[in-house]
Amino acid sequence: MSAKNADSVKVICQNKKAHFDYELGERFEAGLVLTGTEVKSLRLGKANLLDAYARFDRGEAYLVGAHISPYDNAYFGNHDPQRRRKLLLKKKEINKLLGKVQERGQSLIPLRLYFKNGLAKAELALARGKKKHDKRQAMKEADSKRDLSRQLKEIRNKG
């Protein structure tokens, strides 16, 4: 396989809290409509998806709440860090997602931003919010896994 055919992916930022706060379902890849200074800031890794989500307006999808820091070296025409950014999805995907999001409790949240073959992309997931007791259960499971791996490591080092 030649280097041109391989997908080169460079992750810009991830929404690490999404796995804790939501039960994640089906995932989608969407392109982003960006200005020049936004692309330059993304190449420097200056983005945050902590409170971001996708919203539908007049048959189009938008990324809301994503923070892309202003580009420091821009002379003029810098972007608004919190502006809505259009998501590039096929009409069939938009209709499918719109139907699912209108169901009770479903949200469309971004998991990560990345460059794929030089183009900015967002990975989106259909998500359902976890209840407080579900989050506590997830924390208990993570603690027990951590303790188990720590004990296994100690056993291997002794042996």
How far apart, in whole angstroms, are the C-alpha atoms of residue 40 and residue 46? 9
Confirm whether 149 is domain-assigned: no
Token pair for 8: 């080169």
What pLDDT does 154 receive? 83
Number of domains making up the chain: 1
Confirm whether 101 is domain-assigned: yes
Token pair for 15: 């929404």
3-state DSSP assignment of residue 117? coil
pTM (predicted TM-score): 0.75
Confirm whether 154 is domain-assigned: no
What pLDDT does 62 receive? 94
pLDDT tens digits, the chain, 159 residues: what are they? 445 556 788 999 998 888 778 888 889 999 999 888 888 888 998 889 988 989 999 989 999 999 888 888 877 778 878 889 999 999 999 988 888 888 777 889 999 999 999 899 999 999 887 776 666 777 777 777 888 888 888 888 876
Confirm whether 142 is domain-assigned: no
How far apart, in whole angstroms, are the C-alpha atoms of residue 155 and residue 144? 17
Confirm whether 35 is domain-assigned: yes
What pLDDT does 1 receive? 43
Q: Residue 61 sits in a domain of what CATH number?
A: 2.40.280.10
How far apart, in whole angstroms, are the C-alpha atoms of residue 90 and residue 136? 38
How far apart, in whole angstroms, are the C-alpha atoms of residue 42 and residue 45? 5
Q: What are phi and psi of 142, to 5 degrees?
A: -65, -40
Range of the domain at 84: 9-130
Confirm whether 137 is domain-assigned: no
Confirm whether 1 is domain-assigned: no
Confirm whether 4 is domain-assigned: no
